[in-house]
Amino acid sequence: MRDLSNDSKLLAINSATVKPWSLEQLVEGCARAGIAAIAPWRDIVQACGVERAGKLIRAQNLTVTCLCRGGMFPAADEAGRRAALDDNKRAVDEAVAIGAGSLVLIAGGLPKGSRDIDGARRQVRDGLAAFLDYARTVKMPLALEPLHPMYAADRACVNTMAHANDLCDELGEGLGLAVDVYHVWWDPNLRREIARAGKRIITYHVCDWLVPTKDLLLDRGMPGDGVIGLRDIRAMVEATGYDGHCDVEIFSAENWWKRDPAEVLRICLDRHRTVV
């Protein structure tokens, strides 16, 4: 396993961690702090303007590990599914424009009024299959991120590494995985499924699971403040040959989002070296 204790080059900051910073502030703040990689969300890229965002990122020589996010495939009707496909194509174009290493996808949950989770999962499979051809033409890797089962209804009906691996097996080239410790740490089959994923792991996200957790979406912890065995999971991921960044992605409405983002970056740097 890599020694990160004196190495900040492998730290990436997801823009969610330093909300409400704009893309401009994210780029400038990370460059100032000596952080060489970012993982922006689409909202701040679009607010900046995609072409301008790419220029700002390149001017600071920043690596973009991934763009967050596309996916959300299931819909109640064909028009909704077509709209999702069109939006995902736009997301790929944005990822290409800013030089992202991948586009992260989450599956999407049940269409409004539906109780058919198997049907939603079929729609995810079909949406991925239809979308992959476009992503392949522009050589943009897609990183499917399984989300914790608590999100199965509204955000993602792909909830385990096993399910995500199955989809990769079926759909083939161009589809890989985003491993986010917040969503997979609990899985008793995690070691086996990470090994199975192998080279398909495209991007790796870290934070921590707090006990108690006050909000299942907006109360993630800074690495080291919770119960996740971060180094154990990183060892599993790196045993596959993964040599990319560790992206810190923290949603924290009542804690970290209320702090000075520059302070948050300093703490991320420290935890990257001492905990991650």
Mean pLDDT, range 150-156, rounded to an integer: 97
Residue 142 has pLDDT above 90, yes or no: yes
The 3-state DSSP class for residue 106 equals: strand
List pLDDT tens digits, range 4-45.
Answer: 988 889 999 999 999 999 999 999 999 999 999 999 999 999
pLDDT of 208:
98
The average pLDDT across 42-57 equals 98
- Contact assessment for residue 168 and residue 143, using Cβ atoms and an 8 Å cutoff: no
pTM: 0.97
pLDDT for residue 6: 85
Write down the domain spans for the chain: 11-274
Q: What is the mean pLDDT of the chain?
A: 97
Which residues pair with residue 252 across a beta bridge?
Answer: 219
Q: What is the pLDDT of residue 15?
A: 98
Residue 105 has pLDDT above 90, yes or no: yes
With beta carbons less than 8 A apart as the criterion, state whether 117 and 163 touch.
no
What mean pLDDT is predicted for residues 117-121?
98
CATH number of 11-274: 3.20.20.150
pLDDT band at 92 (very low <50, low <70, confident <90, very high): very high
Would you state the pLDDT for residue 85? 97
> What torsion, rounded to 10 degrees, do the Cα atoms 203, 204, 209, 214 define?
-30
* Cα-based distances in Å from 235 to 169, 177, 230: 23, 17, 9
Residue 7 pLDDT? 84
Buried/exposed 97-111: b ≥16 CB within 10 Å, e otherwise: bbebbbbbbbbbbbb
Does pLDDT of 169 surpass 90?
A: yes
Average pLDDT over residues 222-247: 98
